[in-house]
Chains A and B, each alone.
Chain A
Amino acid sequence: MANTKSIAADSQIDIESIRKDFPMLSTKLNDKPLVYLDSAATTHKPWSVIEAVKTFESQHYATVRRGAYKLGELATTQYEGVRKKIAQFIGIEDPRQIIFTSGTTQSINLVAYSFGKRYIQAGDEVIISTMEHHANIIPWQIMCEDRGAILKVVPVNDEGEFQMDEYEKLLNKKTKIVSVTHVSNALGTINPIKDIIFKAHSVGAKVMIDGAQSTPHIGLNLKELDCEFYAFSGHKMYAPSGIGVLYGKYELLEDMPPYVTGGEMINLVTFERTTYTKPPARFEAGTPPITQVIGLGEAIDYITKIGISNIEAYEHKLLEYGTSVLSGIKGLKLIGTAKNKASILSFSLDNVHPHDIITLLDQDAICVRGGHHCAQPTMKRFCVPATTRASLAFYNTCEDLDMLVKGIQKVQEVFS
């Protein structure tokens, strides 16, 4: 049987030193060491990010893009430096294509609103999939209602995989945009987005990808993928909360109206008329989350230092280990068994509701998520009201999963 040491060595991951990098991992709850298995919800922060935030706030903090004084200029340089870093991290050249948002949710809302307002007419069609997070359903639903457009949904099979043949049937000349998740937060499925994007383009549709769950785990090359929009969040990739990213092709961004309006997104304001500045500033009204941007830059440095392909390899082996030990529990059913999966283990347990599971596991300081994971249509598809979800990051170990298994067995004793 695999163990942390062997899979870490295979993936060139120095797990001991990584765990020391994350102070939260050595904290205790109820006098028990924390077993954190909820990284798909949010991740902990390494010291380097915490220190970068502290240093910026205590020594370099100033507003960006406004002040002509030195401190503001230096802060702006640092802030814009992160935009370049992100561009590089996702494999594109032009940092003007990076818009800072508050998170994936806001990024998707921005596109649904602005793209919809500019390009969607009555009778047009928008495609999403059954496995979407509510954040990639509701903005499109509202936009379709407003514009008189039609929302179409690609089904998933029993393993939780995107049904490509059904997708092909839905695509037609009326399809204006396809918005699907790269990795399902509730099932772990990694979608074949390259193929999805290619097929959408063949009917002239644009593509938005929800990358909230993929960016921390999978190396990206957006230039090669060629999607029009890609969204992700900082707090799911070891950065502070409150910062997210929207990547968009520049010619589209340039053509789209602003979403949130206010300061710093204008050329000229009179009471009769306002002209807007170019992207990305057009979409960044108000004072941005400056410190959080600095934190995100540092988190990207940290991920890059560990190596995203090493992270991917280690997490995959951890997923294999977790799948194997959980599958050994009688009465446990994994929900989401796609061939291509990220490190998310969603499951149901006979006769025990997820909320009872998490309350009891919590007594052993084991943090897992129970609920519908903001994906009610996905739960409905699998005929469960909710699931329990353990989600892994590269700071997790086989021992964390062993603790989970022991905990689940104890839950079963209570409910036997």
Chain B
Amino acid sequence: MSYQSELYQQVILDHNKNPRNFRRLEQGTHFCDGRNPLCGDELTLYLNVNNDDIIEDICFYGSGCAISKASASMMTTNLKGKSIDQAKVMFEEFHKMVLGEFEPDQQEHHLGKLTIFMGVREFPSRTKCASLSWHTLICAIEKKQETSTE
């Protein structure tokens, strides 16, 4: 008998084990520290945004649970090359999706493979883990330096 779960799918486990864009960025245009005081998840998100508001580079560094790490990894993979406005739309959709207020299988969406995090709905205590990197993204875009899920 083993644990099976909608939440811990292979893709998520893989991004946890080998997080993409997991590094610091010394010369970025934006950054923010995100914290989930409930779990102790901590990550810093770095962005390099060009004059046309396109995210040329995005990466993160820190420690956290598999959900927060995989979410950050997949977010950075998906946002590279997108505009700030597109990123904001994706934040809205992602945030509402994990809270169960947006149905990507019934509505038009821009989330691509990120819909895999829909499974987190079944685990209300973990939605903040999935959305931490997204909140940190918004904070970085708004040029604040710190955000918290609480």
Chain B interface residue bracket vs A = 20 to 34
A356 and B3 contact, Cβ closer than 8 Å, known pairs A371-B38, A386-B40: no
Report the separation of the CA atoms of residues A22 and B23 in the bound assembly, to the nearest whole angstrom. Answer: 50
Tell me, yes or no, whether B66 is within 8 Å of chain A by CB: yes
Q: Is B38 within 8 A of A360, CB to CB?
A: no
Task: Kindly supply a per-residue 1/0 record for chain B positions 92-126, scoring 1 wherever the CB is within 8 Å of any chain A CB and 0 otherwise.
Answer: 00000000000000000000000000000001011
A414 and B3 contact, Cβ closer than 8 Å, known pairs A356-B66, A359-B126, A385-B63: yes
Out of A360, A379, A415, name the residue touching B40 (CB < 8 Å).
A379
A410 and B8 contact, Cβ closer than 8 Å, known pairs A359-B123, A371-B40, A386-B39: no
B-chain residues with CB within 8 Å of residue A202 when the two chains form the complex: none
A362 to chain B, nearest CB (A): 8
B128 to chain A, nearest CB (A): 10
Out of B2, B16, B63, B66, name the residue touching A410 (CB < 8 Å).
B2
**Contacting residues of chain A (333-371) with chain B, CB-CB under 8 angstroms:** 351-356, 359-360, 363, 370-371
Please give me the residue from chain B that is nearest to A407 by CB atom. Answer: B3
B-chain residues with CB within 8 Å of residue A352 when the two chains form the complex: 66
Tell me, yes or no, whether B42 is within 8 Å of chain A by CB: yes
Looking at B3, B16, B63, B67, the one whose CB has the most chain A CB atoms below 10 A away is B3
Q: Is B40 within 8 A of A356, CB to CB?
A: no
Report the separation of the CA atoms of residues A372 and B16 in the bound assembly, to the nearest whole angstrom. Answer: 21
A-chain residues with CB within 8 Å of residue B126 when the two chains form the complex: 355, 359
Please give me the residue from chain A that is nearest to B120 by CB atom. Answer: A359
Q: Is A413 within 8 A of B8, CB to CB?
A: no
Q: Is A360 within 8 A of B65, CB to CB?
A: no
B83 to chain A, nearest CB (A): 33
A-chain residues with CB within 8 Å of residue B3 when the two chains form the complex: 360, 363, 410-411, 413-414
Out of A353, A363, A370, A376, name the residue touching B5 (CB < 8 Å).
A363
Tell me, yes or no, whether B138 is within 8 Å of chain A by CB: no
Report the separation of the CA atoms of residues A356 and B41 in the bound assembly, to the nearest whole angstrom. Answer: 12
A385 and B129 contact, Cβ closer than 8 Å, known pairs A353-B64, A363-B5, A411-B3: no
Task: Kindly supply a per-residue 1/0 record for chain B positions 4-41, scoring 1 wherever the CB is within 8 Å of any chain A CB and 0 otherwise.
Answer: 01011000010011000000000000000000001111
Listed A/B pairs (22) with beta-carbon separation below 8 Å: A351-B17, A354-B39, A354-B65, A355-B65, A355-B126, A356-B8, A356-B65, A356-B67, A359-B7, A359-B123, A370-B39, A371-B38, A372-B40, A376-B40, A379-B40, A385-B39, A386-B39, A410-B1, A413-B2, A415-B16, A415-B17, A415-B66
Q: Which residues of B contact A (CB under 8 A)?
A: 1-3, 5, 7-8, 13, 16-17, 38-42, 63-67, 123, 125-126, 129
